Structure 1
Amino acid sequence: MNDAMRAPGNIYLRWQSGIGKIGLVGWGYVLVVFLAGLFLMVPVTSQWEDQFRDHAYGLLERLAPVPVTDDIVVVGIDDTDLQDFQVPLAIMHRQLGATLEAIASARPRAIGLDILLPVRSFDNLQPGLDAALARGLIAARTAAPLVVGASTDGQGVTKPMHPLFATLTHSSQVGLGYLFLLRDTDGMIRRFDERLGSAGGRAPSLSGQMARAVGLEVQPGLIHYAVGSAYSYIPMRQVLDWHRENKIQNLRTAFGNKMVMIGSTLSFDDQQHTPVALGAGLGAQVGSHGVFVHAQQLRNLMTGTLVQPLPWVLQFLFVTVLACSWWLPPSWKTGLLCVLLAVCVQLAALYALRWGISSTVIAMQLALFGGMGCRLIHAGWQSNRERQHLRHIFGGFVSPAVLQEILAGRLDPQTAGSRQDICVLFADIRGFTTMSEAMPPEQVTLLLNRYFDRMVAAIHHHDGTLDKFIGDGIMAVFGAPFRSANPCNDAFACACHMIEAVDAFNAEQKLLGATPIAIGIGLHYGPAVVGYVGSRERYEYSVIGDTVNVASRIEGLTRELEHPVLLSESAYRQLSDKQRLIVIGHMAIRGRSAINIFAWERKWNV
């Protein structure tokens, strides 16, 4: 009996001992599940899920769009229509009325206007405008259910329309559909939900009313942007041409038994942010016109493809199962397995989205990789170490050419300077000191910044390295650190480019009523020491040597001569094309004996 009583006690002790051994690991698993479950509820996860879904729509649209019968037709008012009709959109009554009559003759299934009807009469401008639009509305409501667009003012009150049109639309065959589009905090349109009124009141939408008009049930959901292909709209002028030429068969083929939406496809009007561009043949525009968004909502309602979220219980169950990666032994095989599982999760989420189910990919990925926290910590440490190294390398760096050499591993602050043959360019604004004394400091700064923008762009365009700004002057180097087949060719081409840029700058100055400027440029070719110069705390990539001084002195000679670009003989001899150059002759420069000077044949034009 004692043995029998002792046996259950031994089992209990062994069980308690096992709990003690796996307690920390078990609590770690609980923590991973808790954090992943927490991510299911925080707003930032919802934003990440939205972004994942946006990219998924783009991928599905390209690789595996959901096929549908294209029973929705968009009639667009585009830029060419505006030019042909020669009337603004607000008084396009005759054209809109005739378009409605033409569509009505084809017996469509329903018609929707993504256009607000006017609040006043324009007959005082062109007699007969109201009657023309009224005839179109009557024809449309007689032929098929008609939904006209509506909106509200700042107080949420529905905006009125002209009494004539209000009377015509007050019919069992006509519905009002609000043109609201539900935007997320980032401005993207992802959701369809008519519960926009106070206390969750319903505001019937254009697409929702069109769906109800043909007997469909309307429920909220996420807009499925991978259902169907992009919309190719029919321009309004095309509809009017068919109507005028009595091409009834064309109208019936285009609109017969179809859901027809009419709206703006103008390049400057009603552009909405959407995950994919819904309009076909509209170039590389980002987003979609509002009429295409309404059409996509209607397409989802007609095909029952609005995306619905996975039930919360199933979401948490998936998170709990994927968090079991915590129990796998840490090794490279575990890492590989987690990566493969992550890929499978994303593919499964993509497949589910195609069939209208939105899953919480981000939270599931967090649960999957929760057991690999140490690797994440190590990656963070390694990333921080790399950033510190890059700060050390790039401290004081300016020029893109220097950046290219550093990233290629050919420059390091610890490397001593080297002697190279280079071409140095100096440029300076003539009479800038006198000019700036008569200008406010803010205006001086603005002028210099505009000027430097153009000069630096020219230097970088010709593979030069900006060495420094010296007041209103610029020093640039060609041939270091970026090697050049002929640095003098590059430098001279840059100098010509800079003079032409100043011409454009002066044209702007003239428009602004400001004083034009003139610059002088000096070029000299010769040996110099190039490398990092400075202290351990602050250094810069620069050029040192007599070549720099001579280039500066040559630039100073432009004050005495009538040519804006001067070259030394050493630079002149290196040029491949000397046709545009003339000989100035020997000139004395400070600190050196006279040297032979050459000039670009162009003279000062200021």
Structure 2
Amino acid sequence: MVKTLLLGGLLGALVVGASLGGLLEVAELRALNALFVLRGPRRTATPIVIVTVDEDSFDELNLAWPWPRALHGRFLDIVSRGHPAAIGFDIVFAEPSAQGPADDGRLAGAVARAGNVVLAAARTVAQNELFTKVELRVPTSQLRAGAAGFGLVNYDIDPDGNVRQARLEYRLEGERFESFVRRLYDLGVQARLPARPLPAGDAFLINYRGGPRTFPWIPYYRVLDGEVSPEAFSGKIVLVGSTTPILHDAFSTPFAPANGMPGVEIHANALDTLFQGIPVRPAPRAAARAASLAAAVAAVWLTRRLRPLRAFVVLAGVGLAGWALAVGLFVLWHAWAAAVAPTLALVLAYGTTVVVEFVREQRERRRLSRFFSPAVLREIVRHKDDAHLGSSRRLVTVLFSDLRGFTSMAERLEPEQVAEVLGEYLTELTEIVFRHGGTVDKYVGDCVMALYNAPFEQRDHAAQAVRTALAFQAATQGLSARWEARLGVSMRSGVGINTGEAIVGTLGSRQRLEYTAVGDTVNLAARLESITKDFDAPIIISESTWALVDGQFPARALGEVTVKGKAVPVRIHAVLLSSTRKDERVPADVRVAITAGQVTVEAAVHDLAVNGLSVRELPLALTPGMFARLSIAGTGLGEPVGADARVVWCREAAAGFAFVDLRGEAAQALRDYLSARPGPASDPGPR
């Protein structure tokens, strides 16, 4: 856990550092754009209408820009007859009209008559290599005299080129200037438009309702031509501004990238945000940093405990849940929770941990591969700690196997041939141990020691050890036949198995450590293997092992025996390689489905007994010692009877099977069927 906290904390700190250094600012701003898009457009709630200085108005009026101010005065007189709540001109009249004082006078008179007109002012910046000059362009004094006020129309541009923030006031050279939207808000409040209190501070994030034309647009010329009634402006805030590209008054916003939103519509969105009291509220940055640290630690912890794909799926779900939370907070409470930093922390922590764990696992695999099967090794590596390898007392089944006649064979063969035979034998036996979930403890010459139920729990460890022993015998028979044909030598093997408690784990000296088991349980298993030749029994198991596998394998009791190193006699049993078929075989009118590996075939049953069956016309090549899954079905059996079986003999298209795991209701159903059948059957082959 300490390593997880250290790695996760380090990666989380890197992300927090990147955030503090501004490296994630653009990404977070674009994530805010994504929140707007995911939320989607919303209906406007504030009575705002935009009168557009657009291409159609230029075409209809056939006038060059700037238009005569008398024309604007006429426009104001028309709109004022509708009693709007406020009128905002997003056009800067900073210089006297080129058409003379009379032109200014007509506009000034209309502004004064309306009484609720806010004019635009602008801050301009002139910059060269030597100096930077900031200039404030305000309406002429003649126009200011009759206006309700003027306000700055400038917006701050974010690093990604978007307009997201509006100001309530500006401070320039020690003076305080209110913004255009603040002036219009005050007039709207005076006109008794429903309004929420202003947000704290000098600036706020605009809660955009949508893209262009979210608020109603009315072309300027249609007002002058009388196509729009003055009553259309009653009780509304009227904004007048450019929407034509030729006047270059457009900006990028979340719903309108690439300078797609006119400045006058940004004013409309800012005003709506103020009146509805819904500015976007950034969540505390400390929360995002804490979330980044937590995400990094959690990602490291999960990735170290799950497989990479599963960890990816889980972390992807966590990331999506985080984004869903961010969207929910934004939609419901207009809160902007920074999601990029925590997401980056998840990705960085996952990717780094996958690489670190891959390197560590490869090192662990190389260290442990000589002890464990690939399946067990995968489990050990997946648990990512050595807790399972530390020495402890636990119940285990220990198997010892030894080649009979190996010493005499070694005397007859060349050393290279001995090494070849031994390598072939040990490779085959090791694969069998691994297939049955065992752990190869050690090789001592031709002797193999294997453990079961270590380092991980195995529910059927004793049975798996016996199955390993049976497979050893079958494999040894096949190998012996090949050796006899090739080298003129044949051998048999003996196996001893015992179950009991032992000290299991990584044991040894500072110079050399091995995963092994020690104790009386191990010693007895070795002694049982050594007496197999005395009883002419290839497999001998102890009473403790037999108690765990009773009924699963054909066996005979050998009684009690005193082995070397034991003062008290021990009861032992011999596992039979093939059934003696003491139970009478009867002809059967049933069929059996045989599954061996990935192949399933069906055959007719020739004869059947409580402990096995034989078949004819088998469309599958089998070899003695193989294990198969049988499903026996036919009239009189009721439900199909399933059983695990071992191939005892094969001859052409016939084969004999001995049941290795037939108990309970399945065994009783078979007995009931056999008791109702006539017998005996003819013998189709050896047993």
The sequence identity of aligned pairs, in percent, is: 21
Tell me the alpha carbon deviations over residues 295-344 of structure 1, each in whole angstroms, 9 at most, x when there is no partner: 11111111112111101332233334333232121312221011111111
Aligned partners of 1:179 and 1:356: how far apart in 2? 24
Please report how far the alpha carbon of residue 195 of structure 1 lies from its aligned counterpart in structure 2 after TM superposition.
Answer: 5.6
Note if 1:256 corresponds to 2:234.
Answer: yes
The structural deviation recorded for 1:129 is: 2.4
1:336 aligns with 2:313: yes
Question: Aligned to 2:66, what secondary structure does the other structure show?
Answer: helix
Q: Quote the offset at 1:362 in angstroms.
A: 0.9
Change (3 A) 1:100 1:372: same
DSSP-derived class of the 2:246 partner:
coil
In 1, distance between residues paired with 2:36 and 2:63? 38
> Do the aligned residues in 2 keep the contact of 1:101 with 1:135 (CA within 8 Å)?
no
Counterpart check, 1:241 vs 2:225? yes
1:163 deviation in Å? 3.9
Q: Distance in 1 between matches of 2:173 and 2:145?
A: 30
Residues 35, 327 of structure 2: 8 Å contact kept: yes
Task: Specify which of 286, 294, 311 is matched with residue 321 of structure 1.
Answer: 294
Tell me, in whole angstroms, the C-alpha distance in 2 between the residues paired with 1:311 and 1:285: 30
Aligned mates of 2:355, 2:111 — CA distance in 1: 67
Bigger Rg over Cα: 2
- Measured in 2, the distance between the counterparts of 1:358 and 1:119 equals 42
* Residue 50 (structure 1) shift: 0.5
Residue 222 of structure 1 corresponds to which residue in structure 2?
205
User: Partners in 2 of 1:57 and 1:318 — Cα distance?
Assistant: 22
Superposed displacement of residue 161, structure 1: 3.8
Which residue identity lines up with residue 95 of structure 1 in the other structure?
L
Please say if residues 208 and 218 of structure 1, whose CA atoms lie closer than 8 Å, have aligned partners that are also in contact. Answer: no
Question: How many residues of Structure 1 are paired with residues of Structure 2 in the alignment?
Answer: 336
CA distance in 1, matches of 2:78, 2:172: 39
CA distance in 1: counterparts of 2:145 and 2:173, whole angstroms? 30
Query: Quick one: structure 1 residues 94 and 317, their matched pair in 2 at CA, closer, same or farther if it must change by over 3 Å?
Result: same
1:47 to 26, 31, 54: 26
| Contact 2:165–2:204 (8 Å) recurs in 1 | yes
What does 1:425-504 correspond to in 2, within 5 Å? Answer: none
Corresponding residue to 1:207 among 172, 178, 181:
181
Displacement of 1:234? 0.4
Output the TM-score relative to the length of structure 2: 0.45
Q: Which residue of 2 aligns with 1:270?
A: 248
Query: Are 1:187 and 2:161 an aligned pair?
Result: yes
Residue 414 of structure 1 corresponds to none
Note the C-alpha offset of 1:157.
4.2
Letter in 1 for 2:221: R
| Partner amino acid, structure 1, of 2:311 | T
Which residue is 1:304 aligned to?
A: 277
Could you tell me whether the CA contact under 8 Å between 2:48 and 2:236 is conserved in 1?
A: yes
The 1-side partners of 2:119 and 2:260 are apart by 24
Find the residue that maps to 2:278 and give its secondary structure: coil
- More off after superposition, 369-378 vs 70-79: 369-378
Counterpart-to-counterpart distance in 1, 2:98 and 2:238 = 26
Unmatched runs of 5 consecutive residues or more in structure 1 = 1-21, 279-283, 382-606
Cα gap change, 1:362 to 1:268, in 2 (>3 Å): same
Aligned to 1:66: 42
Question: What secondary structure is seen at the aligned counterpart in 2 of 1:363?
Answer: helix
**1:35 CA displacement:** 2.2
Alignment check: 8 A CA contact 1:182 1:191 kept: yes
2: CA distance, partners of 1:51 / 1:377: 30
Match of 1:116 in 2: 92
Q: Which has the higher contact order (CA 8 A, sep 6+)?
A: 1
Distance in 2 separating the partners of 1:202 and 1:334: 55
Q: 2:71 aligns with which of 92, 95, 99?
A: 95
Change (3 A) 1:162 1:360: closer
For residues 188 and 227 of structure 1, do their structure 2 counterparts lie closer, same or farther at Cα, with a shift above 3 Å needed?
closer
Establish whether residue 137 from structure 1 lines up as the match of residue 129 from structure 2: no
The answer (yes or no) to whether the contact 2:165–2:206 under 8 Å persists in 1 is yes
Q: In the TM superposition, what whole-angstrom CA distance separates every residue of 1:339-364 from its partner, at most 9, and x where no partner exists?
A: 11111111221222223111111111
Kept in 1: contact 2:44–2:215 (CA 8 A): no
Report if the CA contact (8 A) 1:115-1:263 is conserved: yes
1:189 partner letter? V
Q: Secondary structure at the match of 1:369?
A: helix
Distance (whole Å) between structure 1 residues aligned to residue 157 and residue 259 of structure 2: 16
1:34 Cα deviation after fit: 1.6
Cα shift at 1:233:
1.0
Superposed CA deviations along residues 397-436 of structure 1, whole A, max 9, x for unmatched, are xxxxxxxxxxxxxxxxxxxxxxxxxxxxxxxxxxxxxxxx
**Corresponding residue of 1:350:** 327
2:264 aligns to what SS in structure 1?
Answer: helix
Task: Describe the shift of the 1:44–1:296 C-alpha distance in structure 2 as closer, same or farther (beyond 3 A).
Answer: same
Q: CA deviation at 1:190?
A: 1.6
Q: CA deviation at 1:221?
A: 2.1
Distance 1:111 1:79 in 2: 22
Contact 1:222 1:306 in 2 (8 A): yes
Give 1:547's aligned residue.
none
CA distance in 2, matches of 1:266, 1:240: 18
**Would the alpha carbon gap of residues 268 and 157 (structure 1) be closer, same or farther in structure 2, given more than 3 Å must change?**
closer
Given the alignment, which residue of 118, 123, 137 partners 1:152? 123
Q: What TM-score results when the alignment is normalised by the length of structure 1?
A: 0.51
Task: Tell me if structure 1 keeps the 8 A contact 2:109–2:146.
Answer: no
